[in-house]
Structure 1
Amino acid sequence: MAPAGTLTRADLAESLHHQVGLSRADSAKLVEQILGHMCEALSKGENVKISGFGTFVLRDKGERVGRNPKTGVEVPIAPRRVLTFRASQMMRDRIVSGS
């Protein structure tokens, strides 16, 4: 298992292996396929929603002026696309209650 606080692809595959009974190879392959589909959808500009978990949303941020905190010099920050995650209400409730 990974260090406390980090869930890895291998952990997901191992969980599938134990809980569903798939072989380790099939479990790893399934995890990779799911993550691959999610990455592909996001790279096409689509949002990814997993009911009861949350939504991965792509946002376009416009150009803006930033400031170098060391020197105070203003620098332009180029427009870019960022990925954000918004947890579902069910997930937020589970996190708050600690279960």
Structure 2
Amino acid sequence: MTRSELVEQLSVRKDISIGTAEKIVQEIFGSMTDTLIAGDRIEIRGFGSFENRDYDERTGRNPKSGIEVSVAAKKRPFFKVGKDLKERIL
């Protein structure tokens, strides 16, 4: 599902305008983004949780040339599926 499909479904299911649905989706995603940028964790019961994970510096390899390169340490967002969602999918 794309963002525009989510907006459309929200609009239809809740009988609101596309513009209002777009603002709601923007606000939710914006709040989630701000929370992750601040280094906090997001937990949505029954769905899952989002958190930042730290990855150490490592030595990688350029796939084209085969030369070893240093890959800097970094932070990446990580999603862990919730128990209820996992059970519904399986």
Question: Match of 2:16, SS?
Answer: coil
- 2-structure distance, mates of 1:71, 1:51: 46
Residue 51 of structure 1: aligned partner: 45
Give the aligned residue type for 2:51: V
TM-score by length of 1: 0.80
1:11-48 deviation per Cα after TM superposition (whole angstroms, max 9, x unaligned): 11111111112221111110111011001111111121
Q: Does 1:78 align with 2:72?
A: yes
- 1-structure distance, mates of 2:4, 2:64: 41
Pairwise CA distance, 1:70: 4.7
Superposed CA RMSD: 1.4
Q: Does 1:89 align with 2:83?
A: yes
- 1-structure distance, mates of 2:86, 2:8: 25
Q: Does 1:17 align with 2:11?
A: yes
Match of 1:60 among 51, 54, 58: 54
1:42-81 deviation per Cα after TM superposition (whole angstroms, max 9, x unaligned): 1111121111111111011111122334544322110000
Residue 27 of structure 2: aligned partner: 33
Give the aligned residue type for 1:19: R
**Sequence identity, in percent?**
38
Give unmatched runs, 5+ long, in structure 1.
1-6
